[in-house]
Amino acid sequence: MTRAFALGLTTGVTYFVGTIYWTGTVLVQFGNVHIALASLGMLLLAAYLAIYPTIAAVVVSRLIARVGVRALFFAPVAWVATEFLRGHVFGGFPWVPLGNSQVTVLPVAQFASVFGVYGLSALVAYVNASVAVALLTTGRERLIALIGAAAAVIAVGAWGTWRVADGSLTRQGTPITVGLIQGNIAQEDKWKASEARRIFTTYLAMTRDSVRRGAEYVIWPESSTPFSFEDPKDSPAGDTMVRELARETRVPMLFGSDQVIRSAKTELYNAAFLVTPEGRTAAVYRKVHLVPFGEFFPLQRWITFVAPLVNRFAPFSAGDGPVMLPVGAHRASTAICYEVVFPELSRAAVLAGSELLTTVTNDGWYGYSSAPYQHFEMASMRAIEHGRYLARAANTGISGVVDPYGRIVAKSGIFEQVSVIAEARFLTSRTVYAQIGDVVAYAAIVLTVAALLAMRFRRV
């Protein structure tokens, strides 16, 4: 078991250092944290996340000790159980689940429309476990392992190829031309008073240009206004200009802006506002899943060693749940930044009636690292899972539209000022995954617990 623990931990740390290394850069650049301390923080986060695959490795090793090498076939179950828990324990951090590795392999990725990203994780883990069994066995047992893996890949791939080729969802519903405004505002300029006018006029001008090019629904990124919308103490003139722009262009506009609720206790929300072509606020979505150490600070009084970062951000309050955004006769939804990596949030929106998924974000924090690309691909998985078009507006990129099969309709590069104009569709049908949710993950947890209990009682 000690060897399994060491191997699981090594694998986990390698996996996460390679995928979340950029968190250290964020601490250095925007938190004024010393590079050594920032590197330590990144390594500690990677070590924490590595606990989950380590647990999976230990569980499988104990089963192998009992029943032999065939217990490797239990690896997909243990992996999915722990991966799902990683996305929920202590608020969850479901960054780059194993199944997301297939998001660009479209025939295989269609499996997510049935069992979600955790179902894809199970498939990838099963194929790898089968290869491992084949390498460790001989004769008939090896043949069965290889045939099983090949059959799974061929079956899923063939069905996925047919599903993408059929493409019926791209012919259903009502089309709408979306305009995604990528202002490319440098992170260090976003809240400078001297830059506010330039930032705001950039979005106004780009919106007018997008409408001239055919946009029927304009989306700005997260926190795009250099003021808090509908806060009379901040910029009432800005509110007026946004509403006048909506009336002038005659299109609905969705944009990210901080929302301040002043009462006995002032509350701050990371929000997205939907303004109608008549210039009125039709809906406000408040971010539900806040970013730890970015929008709120767990155990704040005990983390004084990162005081520069803590003091830089005001704590946000969390919203209550999905909000439907009326776009003409249809309903859309949005997720703000990090929220799009949580499958259950998009599913809740679809079950509430969303016909179009959108997400607004500011990935300027991540620089030229792999994070913006990872973030875009995790958002793309939500489109496949739910059979919905997904439109994404990002301050510095990547902005784009993804169709219900995960195909890129249009997208921008990073760190370019551009308006992406592309067609999406309002859809109402639901995928199997939208209806059953993460049953694969729940089943994996039950089976893992049952296996551990069985081993315990058998020992007694």
Decide if 12 contacts 52 (C-beta within 8 A). yes
Among 287, 295, 339, 411, the active-site one is: 287
Point out which residues pair with 283 in neighbouring strands: 274
Query: Furthest-apart CA pair in the chain: how many Å?
Result: 77
Tell me the three state secondary structure of residue 397.
coil
Q: Is 222 a catalytic residue?
A: yes
What is the CB-side half-sphere exposure of residue 350 using CA atoms within 13 A?
27
Query: For the chain, how far is it from start to end, CA to CA, in angstroms?
Result: 19
H-run or E-run covering 23: helix 22-31
What is the Cα–Cα distance from 361 to 290, expressed in whole angstroms?
13
Among 216, 222, 339, 355, the active-site one is: 222
The pair phi, psi for residue 260, each rounded to 5°, is -110, 120
H-type alpha helices, 225-275: 236-249
Q: Is 233 a catalytic residue?
A: no
The two three-digit tokens of residue 168, written as one number: 């019926």
H-type alpha helices, 176-317: 196-212, 236-249, 307-312
Cis status, amide bond into 154, omega within 30 of 0: no
What is the Cα–Cα distance from 184 to 207, expressed in whole angstroms?
14
**Residue linked to tokens 């004769």:** 139
What is the Cα–Cα distance from 309 to 23, expressed in whole angstroms?
13
Point out which residues pair with 333 in neighbouring strands: 357
What is the Cα–Cα distance from 311 to 192, expressed in whole angstroms?
17
Opening angle at CA 424, ends 422 and 426, nearest 5? 160
Estimate the share of the chain in helix, then strand, then coil, as percent rounded to the nearest 5: 55, 15, 30
Q: Is 337 a catalytic residue?
A: yes
Among 337, 339, 355, 385, the active-site one is: 337
* Interstrand relation of 325-327 and 418-426 (parallel, antiparallel or unpaired): unpaired
Q: Is 217 left (phi over 0), alpha (psi -120 to 50) or beta?
A: beta
Residue positions annotated with a catalytic role: 222, 287, 337
